[in-house]
């Protein structure tokens, strides 16, 4: 396992956890957001989760869905 893959995985995981914590502040702790802030928060968390999932698959040596010949 390369150091580059490990670093990409850890970076993606840390970023996703930060975005998820911000989301939990709203849903679980009652933090208020104005206007389009909620949409932005949800989009940032979703993109961070996708990046984490891709890094996890890469770390495990599993091809991404985009690379699948069956789609």
Half-sphere exposure of 26 (CA within 13 A, CB side): 14
The residue written with tokens 């989009």 in the block is: 43
Q: Is the dihedral of CA 30, 35, 39, 45 positive or negative?
A: negative
User: How many Å apart are CA 69 and CA 71, to the nearest integer?
Assistant: 6
Structure confidence by residue, pLDDT tens digits, 20-67: 999 999 999 999 998 899 999 999 999 999 999 999 999 999 987 776
User: pTM of the prediction?
Assistant: 0.83
């Amino acid at each position: 396992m390369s150091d580059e893959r490990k670093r990409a995985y850890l970076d993606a995981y840390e970023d996703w956890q930060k975005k998820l914590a911000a989301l939990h502040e709203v849903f679980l702790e009652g933090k208020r957001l104005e206007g389009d802030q909620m949409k932005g928060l949800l989009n940032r968390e979703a993109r961070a989760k996708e990046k984490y999932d891709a890094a996890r698959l890469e770390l495990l040596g599993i091809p991404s869905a985009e690379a699948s010949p069956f789609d």
